[in-house]
Structure 1
């Protein structure tokens, strides 16, 4: 074959399994260019018989017209001798097995949605319609390479019509691995809680009737099973809470379209962009104060001024929402404390006492995917839970990090995620949950093995938290005992490292000040930290200030009982006898258990010191009457306190937290709070005064530290930073003082982000 000068484009990013090669084929054909496109182990290669100028034009159009699910992270062009091609072709992979992992699952695209509701279309009302621009990916993959035989679709043989689509590069279903139709693909059916089939030619119509009757239905979707009921029916919502044993934590909603959401929630442009994104996350929205339609049941989100809402993201959801004219609760299908059911048998066993009817199907879910949760704020989007639609999209390593190192970070105990490093990129798993549940830990081990295989990561270097009781740490120790290398990274250092990496802060960048506020993390001095000022960078950070440490009375029990934190805080200011007379402040102070507290404090028995910001919020929330005696989910008291502050309608003076010996000391604030409570001051104003006072104290401490340490950048991380009232005010104040402020962009500020930070810290230590 004769050769001539040509151009080669190497494209890296999310470019496999997302219709990228047929897109390139169509673009080249339109431009009348000859050549070929193929996958290799690192991405996609495009070879063109053309000049450099023509290749530049091609690349520009490629960037402008990318398929919806594609993402280009890097592109390199080079001139070389190429065969003279007679046409443009899609070739088989040239470099062995393609090992670039898997794209995230994506919401139903407009083309498929149009076909779904087009009478006469062969996929009319077919609950598993998809194409290369939408549908399941991570949820169905079992192994590499990503082709049909490696997914749970292997048991469904394509019919002639579907096979023709699959083989045609001009068709949007070219190599769409989950491609199917009613003749050859999965199907769904209805069951009673006892497992008996429910005869129905139109199962979604039957579900609609059940929902209108106030029943609870279970629906198997893409990444797991949901429980649904009428979100405007208070009795139905209460019944769901009782059966699911989820008394207070907010329940997510699903509504048919943006206009329906506007009937009960405020939606700005940023919110709408998030709602309609292919990731289709749950978006936290402010409520409409006096909705004319769709009055959401009070029990949907009793602790929060915001409500979480998403749009239908699978054909199953679209067909269901088409049958009702009200928003639905759409919450994970599980018993309290257990992971979301993903198999039909798990749905039957877990939900038989919760759901009144179940919609199941026979397309297996191999990997559980919770719904992602996000919120739009003043400084951009905060991802609160990164799962379906976002994971496992990779992040590049910041400049200065070696592309040659391979390792795996094991994450923390709560909101666990994994992070795999290879070829200069970080792959962060979907949210896996809290590892104290045995089923969740099993899922954790399954996901670790899956990701190792998907990304051919044979790392013998693991990274974990320093806390000896975290199950992820114990797993790291077991791997170390098998001969692997293990690096332990302090919890809050990992938080700051994650935020630095999230902002592509270079390895050789100047030292920063990290402010990390969360519940608790194991410190280098073996005490429990949680309100920290750290100075340094990826490789090392020094604790240079903190919130004043206070005993955690009863250890972990103090996390579950916020009033214990109030007792501990006030015990710094008052005697035990004085606290016994403060039952007007906290009725629990009359409990004889307080006598035991005094003995525990005196003997230093199960009362570890902690600088936890989370426990400070718990204490203030208890004092203001917005914390239950026993919380029913993590962060409940703090969420109620933020919601209370958001209702404040007046301009308030901040409470005073003193700066002493590089500690933020709240004793003076407590004197003010007690006085205000007894004088009957508005509790909303008091909640706002606390938020403002804490922001001022954190800012004052930053300025004090600036006099002794050289930094211009402040990094904010930790679960407490998800409190937008606090974090946005803190960012405002710090920026007005001349600091550059970094906050999370693509990862959660909570423990869902620390695996990335663990990985970067370990890489920096081993450069």
Structure 2
């Protein structure tokens, strides 16, 4: 029979998920010879044998890869037959810049769980059990290629039994880099009342007892520590909220299993698939049960299922069926992930520490997703999703996009792939900024990129820490990208349609505009390739205190009502607003620290204040979430005017109608419901008008305002009457977590076309 040989390079997510063992077994099954190994650019394969068998080999590799693999491309070339008589897995190659995708962390698989609770298995009750189909990846990788010496498991040599499994191609742990067992691997210990307790089973049982007794325990997970307590113990939840200075921000929950999760939240088939997926995100959905203190003034709950062996062991030994499982930090700071740091930083927050010996290479928080009217939306992209590539677009040289200062992520575009980091948080916090710097260095190092060859993209806001950091880098070029254009671009980049012309609607709280004002209610026309031209916006209002108004809805209200001065005074007195409101009115009259704004996010805050939310917010978006919760329990009775004149949305008739209804005593929930539909009507009418004017058939919705499920539902109802397509982000957050991807895409387009971005 005619023999031939081919060299194959497989691109995509093909390391750390059992791809080489799959190739080995496939070659043995088909009777072809050669070798396979990890390389910087993917998985490298040399295969030789009969032509028909090699064709079958390539076909099956493309059509039947392992479930967790993502094959994006195959490079195949004919080479000389070398006369091989076996097929082997050989040592990894490293000669050039890596292009392989870094695998994300995976929830423990069913096979490992079966072994975990099998008394006859040598890994019985071992909290670090894993295999090629599950377990840590991104949180243990120190450099590429993904081999054990380059992970945080490098301090634990495998025992003979683990080594046999690791080198046996037919075994599920064949080349599973973090593999270990009780004899040779890391363990957990409990730090309680200044004493250290050892023995995995013993310390887990003690942790369960502490949780059942109402204590708060810091528990080490895949990407950092959680603070855990019994979610049905009102006193414990209240204590945790007080210690964390959490305000009214909701806590995430971990349910023992899917059955328990279904008693907590309404799960559609799509939501059930998400909560059960290997990413195991926190799923936001409508609550079924009220748990005091867990989610104040909010009808939604965020629930996840156990995703590490340790979580399953806690419930196995009798932990409460529902645990608060919140990031171990003080409010708004990044998750703690180092052991000594945890002992020090969590003093006064935790009563005990359940500490795992395996180091975490980098902090990675839990991902948050929800299913809304336009499909799945990732609200926080982190564990289980990052750092999978989120887009593909051509780049002449590497692009580092540093994102915004809130909900920061960074994106590295290299070799045609856009790789988005995990959620890094608010860069105003020292630890978050440190994590930001580390992540920049991480990605540049893993892909062997020198800054002198890279383009660095950043926000236009000169006071952003990310911008200042970017401008301090000795890069090939710096490119400033306007915040709201980046929002729109992120949706198109995720869909890999940079040339598509769209109407872009970017609604959020704050972004630096071309004119120096605080933008946040913007309409654009254009594409990533040609740029986005600003074609409309919310009528400018005045914002007393600038960024401070984002924390005090009454200040936002004072600024928006300034154009209606008599009404502003009347409503303040009749609704008995506190002095802070009248002080803000005086600031606006005298133009003291008052800034122009087009922010729809601040308009939501202003309406929330009108309807009774007069306190200072304790977390970003709180007033808008409160307003949505209020509206969601009331039927739509009427729609307020929110006119669009072809250039501006005029908020004055809208606010005037709301004030009239408020003073007449209309139910505030009814007012909130009408307000949401009014905003949706304004978006719909303006998008249709601009679409007709420019011959565009697609509208893109992006920005933090579009995290609002009720607003999305109203928009879906309206656009269903038209032929206009509606696109939103799915795998990329609509909030500022998506900004870095939009920056990278616009920088790539600008660099390739050398055309300036229009104002």
* TM-score, L = length of structure 2: 0.94
* Structure 2: distance between partners of 1:296 and 1:161: 49
Residue in structure 2 matched with residue 27 of structure 1 by the alignment: 26
CA contact (8 A) 1:283 1:309 kept: yes
Task: Output aligned runs, 1:57-72, within 5 Å.
Answer: 57-72=56-71
Residue in structure 2 matched with residue 371 of structure 1 by the alignment: 366
- Range with bigger deviation, 120-129 or 729-738: 729-738
Does 2:722 align with 1:730?
no
CA contact (8 A) 2:562 2:588 kept: no
Q: What is the CA-CA distance between 1:328 and the residue it aligns to?
A: 0.5
Task: Classify the secondary structure of the residue corresponding to 1:572.
Answer: helix
Does 2:534 align with 1:543?
yes
* Structure 2: distance between partners of 1:162 and 1:438: 41
CA contact (8 A) 1:36 1:46 kept: yes
CA contact (8 A) 1:7 1:50 kept: no
Instruction: Specify whether residues 432 and 95 from structure 1 end up closer, same or farther in structure 2 by C-alpha distance, changes over 3 A only.
Output: closer
Residue in structure 2 matched with residue 207 of structure 1 by the alignment: 207
Residue in structure 2 matched with residue 265 of structure 1 by the alignment: 265
Task: Classify the secondary structure of the residue corresponding to 2:264.
Answer: coil
Residue in structure 2 matched with residue 219 of structure 1 by the alignment: 219
CA contact (8 A) 2:253 2:303 kept: yes
Unaligned runs of 5+ in 1: 289-294
* Structure 2: distance between partners of 1:98 and 1:568: 53
Which residue of 624, 628, 635 corresponds with 2:621? 635
Task: Classify the secondary structure of the residue corresponding to 2:215.
Answer: coil
* Structure 1: distance between partners of 2:495 and 2:97: 29
Residue in structure 1 matched with residue 748 of structure 2 by the alignment: 763
- Range with bigger deviation, 443-452 or 348-357: 348-357
CA contact (8 A) 1:165 1:173 kept: yes
Q: What is the CA-CA distance between 1:602 and the residue it aligns to?
A: 3.3
- Range with bigger deviation, 361-370 or 535-544: 535-544
* Structure 1: distance between partners of 2:97 and 2:458: 29
Residue in structure 2 matched with residue 573 of structure 1 by the alignment: 564
- Range with bigger deviation, 317-326 or 123-132: 317-326
* Structure 2: distance between partners of 1:275 and 1:56: 38
Task: Output aligned runs, 1:140-539, within 5 Å.
Answer: 140-192=140-192, 194-198=193-197, 202-288=202-288, 296-322=290-316, 323-398=318-393, 401-402=394-395, 404-458=396-450, 459-479=453-473, 482=474, 484-505=476-497, 507-509=498-500, 511-539=501-529
Which residue of 568, 590, 601 corresponds with 2:588? 601
Instruction: Specify whether residues 25 and 725 from structure 1 end up closer, same or farther in structure 2 by C-alpha distance, changes over 3 A only.
Output: same
CA contact (8 A) 2:188 2:198 kept: no
CA contact (8 A) 2:543 2:560 kept: no
Q: What is the CA-CA distance between 1:437 and the residue it aligns to?
A: 0.3
CA contact (8 A) 1:513 1:535 kept: yes
CA contact (8 A) 1:232 1:326 kept: no
CA contact (8 A) 2:101 2:388 kept: no
Q: What is the CA-CA distance between 1:350 and the residue it aligns to?
A: 1.9
CA contact (8 A) 1:4 1:81 kept: no
Does 2:748 align with 1:748?
no
CA contact (8 A) 2:97 2:447 kept: no
Residue in structure 2 matched with residue 612 of structure 1 by the alignment: 599
Residue in structure 2 matched with residue 292 of structure 1 by the alignment: none
Q: What is the CA-CA distance between 1:50 and the residue it aligns to?
A: 5.0
Aligned length, in residue pairs: 746
Q: What is the CA-CA distance between 1:97 and the residue it aligns to?
A: 6.1
Q: What is the CA-CA distance between 1:53 and the residue it aligns to?
A: 5.3
Instruction: Specify whether residues 562 and 203 from structure 1 end up closer, same or farther in structure 2 by C-alpha distance, changes over 3 A only.
Output: same
Instruction: Specify whether residues 628 and 129 from structure 1 end up closer, same or farther in structure 2 by C-alpha distance, changes over 3 A only.
Output: farther
Instruction: Specify whether residues 64 and 728 from structure 1 end up closer, same or farther in structure 2 by C-alpha distance, changes over 3 A only.
Output: farther
Residue in structure 1 matched with residue 640 of structure 2 by the alignment: 655
Q: What is the CA-CA distance between 1:160 and the residue it aligns to?
A: 1.3
Task: Classify the secondary structure of the residue corresponding to 1:582.
Answer: helix
1:93-132 Cα distance to aligned partner (Å, 9 max, x none): 4563682252111110111111111112111111111111
* Structure 2: distance between partners of 1:532 and 1:93: 50
* Structure 1: distance between partners of 2:575 and 2:458: 39
CA contact (8 A) 1:558 1:564 kept: yes
Residue in structure 1 matched with residue 757 of structure 2 by the alignment: none
Unaligned runs of 5+ in 2: 753-759
- Range with bigger deviation, 529-538 or 68-77: 68-77
* Structure 2: distance between partners of 1:112 and 1:165: 14
CA contact (8 A) 1:128 1:316 kept: yes
Task: Output aligned runs, 1:676-687, within 5 Å.
Answer: 676-687=661-672
1:505-545 Cα distance to aligned partner (Å, 9 max, x none): 1x333x22100011110011111100100111214211110
* Structure 2: distance between partners of 1:732 and 1:82: 62
Task: Output aligned runs, 1:129-148, within 5 Å.
Answer: 129-148=129-148
Q: What is the CA-CA distance between 1:680 and the residue it aligns to?
A: 2.6
CA contact (8 A) 2:231 2:237 kept: yes
Instruction: Specify whether residues 296 and 191 from structure 1 end up closer, same or farther in structure 2 by C-alpha distance, changes over 3 A only.
Output: farther
1:693-721 Cα distance to aligned partner (Å, 9 max, x none): 11111111123323432322211111111
CA contact (8 A) 1:251 1:300 kept: yes
* Structure 2: distance between partners of 1:105 and 1:421: 21
CA contact (8 A) 1:4 1:83 kept: no
Task: Classify the secondary structure of the residue corresponding to 1:86.
Answer: coil
Task: Classify the secondary structure of the residue corresponding to 2:694.
Answer: coil
Residue in structure 2 matched with residue 14 of structure 1 by the alignment: 13
Instruction: Specify whether residues 328 and 371 from structure 1 end up closer, same or farther in structure 2 by C-alpha distance, changes over 3 A only.
Output: same
- Range with bigger deviation, 557-566 or 695-704: 695-704
* Structure 2: distance between partners of 1:444 and 1:652: 47
Task: Classify the secondary structure of the residue corresponding to 1:445.
Answer: helix
Task: Classify the secondary structure of the residue corresponding to 2:226.
Answer: strand
CA contact (8 A) 2:491 2:700 kept: yes
* Structure 1: distance between partners of 2:379 and 2:41: 30
CA contact (8 A) 2:402 2:466 kept: yes
1:668-705 Cα distance to aligned partner (Å, 9 max, x none): 12222122223332222211111111111111112332
* Structure 1: distance between partners of 2:93 and 2:510: 50
Q: What is the CA-CA distance between 1:218 and the residue it aligns to?
A: 1.1
Q: What is the CA-CA distance between 1:370 and the residue it aligns to?
A: 0.3
CA contact (8 A) 2:388 2:420 kept: yes
* Structure 2: distance between partners of 1:725 and 1:601: 32
* Structure 1: distance between partners of 2:697 and 2:45: 44
CA contact (8 A) 1:279 1:388 kept: yes
Task: Classify the secondary structure of the residue corresponding to 1:154.
Answer: coil
* Structure 1: distance between partners of 2:483 and 2:29: 53
Instruction: Specify whether residues 225 and 418 from structure 1 end up closer, same or farther in structure 2 by C-alpha distance, changes over 3 A only.
Output: same
Q: What is the CA-CA distance between 1:620 and the residue it aligns to?
A: 1.1
CA contact (8 A) 1:232 1:296 kept: no
